[in-house]
Amino acid sequence: MWVSKGWGSSFEDGISWKVGDGKDVLFWEDCWLGQDALKRVFPRLFSMCPIKDAKVAEIGSWSDGVWVWHLAWCRSLFEWEKPLVDQLYQALLEVSLVLGEADKWVWKAGGLQTFSVSSAYSLLRRDCEVVFSPTYCKLWNCKVVPSTLVTA
């Protein structure tokens, strides 16, 4: 199990989407705008959207080189739901899609832009303040014949 102080309880807590053209990122399901999926931030709007598994690229279009959002609902909105839509549009203003650039995963650990096993190990090791006993150190430093060379 992946557990790291400050990074949540799962590997997914340590990564996020960086949206390029939006062709690979699920609009409602993936964490690409803030710390949580939009379906959790706006559950009422999610319940009213006609296409729950739509990609970001399917929720808008390019117009004269500018991305324009086209949100649709299964029914007319109640007055009290309109501020929720306004909040969603405000959040979407923070996103700039890039035509022709692929979406990619971003590794949040230590400001690194790409994931590596080494960076994950360093993050986990930094969180563990383990003091090894002298016996443990001797065990790992002893010279033994590798098991592949042992014959019966």
- Give the tens place of pLDDT for each residue, 84-129: 999 999 999 988 888 888 888 877 665 545 666 676 666 666 655 5
Domain that holds residue 113: 11-149
- The answer to whether the CB of 6 falls within 8 A of the CB of 109 is no
Tell me, yes or no, whether 83 lies in a domain.
yes
The percent of residues in the chain predicted with pLDDT above 70, rounded, is: 61
Say whether pLDDT at 4 is over 60: no
Tell me, yes or no, whether 131 lies in a domain.
yes
**What pLDDT is attached to residue 107?**
72
**What pLDDT is attached to residue 75?**
95
Tell me, yes or no, whether 87 lies in a domain.
yes
Mean pLDDT calculated for residue range 55-75: 92
Tell me, yes or no, whether 5 lies in a domain.
no
Say whether pLDDT at 34 is over 50: yes
**What pLDDT is attached to residue 1?**
42
Calpha distance 118→108 (Å, rounded): 14
- Half-sphere exposure (CA, 13 Å, Cβ side) for 85? 15
Count how many domains the chain has: 1
Q: What is the DSSP letter of 13?
A: G
Tell me, yes or no, whether 25 lies in a domain.
yes
Mean pLDDT calculated for residue range 53-77: 93
Tell me, yes or no, whether 22 lies in a domain.
yes
Tell me, yes or no, whether 2 lies in a domain.
no
Tell me, yes or no, whether 1 lies in a domain.
no
